[in-house]
Amino acid sequence: MEDKRNIEQALADSLKALAVKMPFEKITIKQITDGAGVIRVTFYNHFQDKYDLLEWIVKKDIISPVKLLLANDMYREALLLMFTNMQKEKKFYMRVVDTEGQNSFSEIVVRNFDELLTEMLPGDDTYHPQHVWLEPKQVAAYYAQSMSFVMIAWIRKGMPIGPDEMAKAYDYLASHSLWDTLNEMNGKVSPDDRHFF
């Protein structure tokens, strides 16, 4: 019996190879299975459709590798790893970033960040926020949208700056209030008061 993980990786590699050559919407299951050297039924034993496979790739490339870092409060390192892993597959992510349909790329990314952050936050029954709206589910949804926006904008611009600079930029946004950022951008903060990385 073939190893499940090897088959899933072969299907993922096939989809990645196809996506850099043609629009995601035009890729067929047969093309994916031909590239992976398996039959159609094998694909459906692992994934519902190509969007499900795309989500598996997002989880494997972006989400799963950072879980241990996040569990150890290594947030900056987790950001750097996410951006680095995406840059390694730059051509693929630049082709699938605008994927629409039943599960657009942005929906997949937001959903997975939301799940990741929800796992990190305390449950509603154990946490009593100072501000009623700031319940864990709302906080996870807010930061999932934020992280997804930054990541998708970076991809759409062609990943013009490196992973380290992107990690610094998001770290800045996540650790400063909107008001701090507006004041700094409008020159209302003296150079001595500015925060540097």
Return the pLDDT at 190: 52
For position 1, what pLDDT does the model report? 37
Contacts 24+ apart (CB under 8 A), 73-76: 75/171, 76/167, 76/171
188 pLDDT higher than 70: yes
State how far the Cα of 62 lies from the Cα of 147, in Å rounded to an integer: 12
The token pair at 11 is 């299907």
Q: Which domain does 27 fall in, by range?
A: 1-47
Say if residue 27 is in the same domain as residue 68: no
Residues 110 and 132 occupy one common structural domain: yes
Residue 181 pLDDT class (50, 70, 90 cuts): confident
- What is the number of domains present in the chain? 2
Both 19 and 65 in one domain: the answer is no
**Average per-residue pLDDT for the chain:** 89
Asked if the model's pLDDT at residue 4 lies above 80, the reply is no
| Confidence (pLDDT) at 124 | 58
Q: How confident is the model at residue 131, as a pLDDT?
A: 73
Of the ranges 96-100, 157-161, 180-184, which is most confident?
Answer: 157-161
Q: Are 99 and 105 in contact (CB under 8 A)?
A: yes
Between 164 and 125, name the one with better pLDDT.
164
Tell me what pLDDT residue 197 has.
40
CA 122-60-31 angle, to 5 degrees, is: 140
The CATH number of whichever domain residue 9 belongs to comes to: 1.10.10.60
Q: Which of 67-76, 157-166, 174-183 has the lowest mean pLDDT?
A: 174-183
Q: What is the pLDDT of residue 2?
A: 54
Query: Quick one: 174 and 94 in the same domain?
Result: yes
Q: What is the dihedral of CA 135, 137, 139, 145, to 10 degrees?
A: -160
Per-residue confidence band for 196, with pLDDT thresholds at 50, 70 and 90: very low
Which contiguous run of DSSP H or E holds residue 110? helix 105-120
pLDDT at position 129: 65
Supply 62's token pair. Answer: 């972006």
90 and 173 inside one domain: yes
124 and 101 inside one domain: yes
Boundary (domain end) residue, out of 14, 29, 47: 47
Q: Of 10, 29, 47, which marks where a domain is finished?
A: 47
Domain identity same for 36 and 89: no
pLDDT at residue 138, as a whole number: 86
Tell whether 135 and 98 lie within a shared domain. Answer: yes
pTM: 0.86
Residues 120, 100 within the same domain: yes
Same domain, 20 and 68: no
Here the CATH number for the domain that contains residue 170 is 1.10.357.10
Higher pLDDT, 127 or 155: 155
The answer on 102 and 85 residing in a single domain is: yes
Q: Identify the burial level of 189 via C-beta atoms within 10 angstroms of its C-beta, where 0-12 means exposed, 13-18 middle and 19 or more buried.
A: middle
- One domain, residues 12 and 99: no
